[in-house]
Structures are given as C-alpha cells and as structure tokens.
Amino acid sequence: MNIVIADDYQDCVRHLDCFPKLKGHQVTVYNDTVNDLDQLVRRFAAADALVLIRERTRISAALLDRLPNLKLISQTGKISAHLDFAACQARGITVCEGGGTGSATAELTFLLMLASMRHFTSEVQRLKDGLWQGHLGRQLSGKTLGVLGFGRIGEQVCRVGQAFGARPLVWGSDNTQTKAAAHGFAVAADRAAFFEQCDILSIQLKLSAQTQGYVGAADLARMKPDALLVNTSRAGLIAPGALAQALKAGRPGFAAVDVYEEEPVLGAQHPLLALPNCLCTPHLGYVEKDNYEVFFGTAFDNINAFAAGRPQNVAR
C-alpha cells in the first residue's frame, strides 16, 4: 500500500522500533503541517492509507472528495473533531483507531505543576546567569488539587497527587462526580466552590461540543490570586482569550499550558508566551517514545490487518 504519515514534527516515526512493521509498503513521511486544501491534496493524492498523529491535520469532506485513492485512515489515538467521520463512512473509507495509556500526559502534568510551583525554569536561568536563589517556591503537599474531569488521565492525576500529599478535589459532569466519589475522591459542593477552593487546577476534560469553552472568565475570576492552572488537555476547553486576560488580572496567579488553539505555534506567536506568569510547552503531553511505540505500533498493525483483508479496531 501507498502510505502517507503526516505531521511528524520531530522526524522520529522512522526511528521507532515498530516502524519495520511497514516493510513492504511504500511510505512517505512529512515533518511539517500544512493547512491549505490544495497542499494537502498534493501530499495525500496518491495515498491508499493515511496515518494521522492525533488531531494535527484536519480531514474534511472537501479534502476527502479529492482523494479518490484513499481507502484507510489509521488514527493514532481516538478519532475526534478533526476528522469528519461521517464523510469517511459515506465514501467507504475505513477508519481504524487505537490508544495509549495516558501516563505520559499525566506525568507531564506534574512536571508542569512542580516546575511552576518551584519556579524551576527561572531558577535554572538565574544560576546560568551567575546568580543564586531568587524565588521562594511552594510544595504540592497539603494543597487542594482540583481535577476537572475524571477520565483515565484525570484519575491518574488524582492518584499521583494524593501520593504527593495533595488533597484531590474533583468537578465535572454528574457522571464524573459519581465516578470520582465511587473511587474515594472528594467532589466539590458546586462549580463555584470548585474554582474558589483549588490551589492547583488541572484540566483533564475531553474536548467536545459540550465542553468547548467550558472554563469561562467568571470561573477563572473565582480562583485564588496564588492559584495555578494547568492545561494539558485541549486549549478549546477554555473560552477564547479568557486565560490570558485572567492571568493579566491576577486570578489565577500562574498557569502552565501545553496546548493551543492552533498548532504548531511558530515564531512565538501566541499571547500566553508573552506573559511572565505562564509556563508554556509545545504540546509534549503524549509525545514520548514508549507512548509512540504503542500509538504507532497499533496504527501500523491496523494497516497490515486491513491490507490482509482482516480489518481491526475499526471505528463505529
């Protein structure tokens, strides 16, 4: 099969242990992202199968109309709003999916959390600049760790936070609250109390039509002036522009974000990057070798199964 792998920013897919699974196929890998429809058509026109790295490229009906050779989309992770699944079904294009553990994202969440609370990056820079200690940090132990959402990653954040001595406090849908309580975690009395009580708030919701812009300006204004907000989920969970304005107003006092409305962010062109009270990383949450081996290993297995006439992990 003619296979195209898009958006491999780090040119790492060819070097994964699982890449030889594609031996015998013709494989083209692109290391950048393009959004122009004509450019996407030129890249994908000859493809029998596309391997998508999460939501990095939007697959629309208009694009699919111009890809007559396409038979299979092998999605790393689960399909989301970036992929017009109904359009794939209408055109007879099989979509397969797979997933990782979520552990890599949970780990990065705590890296951002601890680095922010201990002023880690600025202290490292001070030492390189010939200076010594400059800030008094704060520990996680004893703090109220708010977790918005209680899926696979949200639960991990609660459990790891508990191991650090933090007090997890959960909020979300009725189902989220019931599930968290069943697992022994405290649930906030109401939405307002949740945002008011958090010393650290970790957003772990799945982005959907129902959760788009879930966190608004009024929620952020309720947070403590020394609170920290961490977002390793999706930027769209926060209302457009609300976080930057809230940080300027001082509630919350600090944020750490790994996700942005439009990615990749190049040329430092994002308002959060200009704020001294925001630690920004380039969507590293799931970008980790062990996780990639699972993501891509499954995606490549799905291609081989399809080529053998035995499709597996087909999205419904």
- Assess whether 234 carries a catalytic annotation: yes
SS3 state of residue 90: helix
SS (H, E, C) 266-296: CCCCCHHHHCCCEEECCCCCCCCHHHHHHHH
Q: Which residues contact 178 (CB under 8 A, 6 or more apart)?
A: none
HSE, side-chain direction, 13 A CA sphere, residue 258: 23
Distances (CA, A) of 141 to 149, 200, 229, 254: 21, 11, 16, 18
Active site residue: 123, 263, 288, 293, which one? 263
- Assess whether 155 carries a catalytic annotation: no
With CA atoms as reference, report the closest residue to 248 among 225, 266, 265: 225
Active site residue: 54, 119, 270, 283, which one? 283
φ, ψ dihedrals at 68, nearest 5°: -65, -20
- Assess whether 123 carries a catalytic annotation: no
Check if the beta carbon of residue 84 is closer than 8 Å to that of residue 60. Answer: yes
Catalytic residues: 234, 263, 283
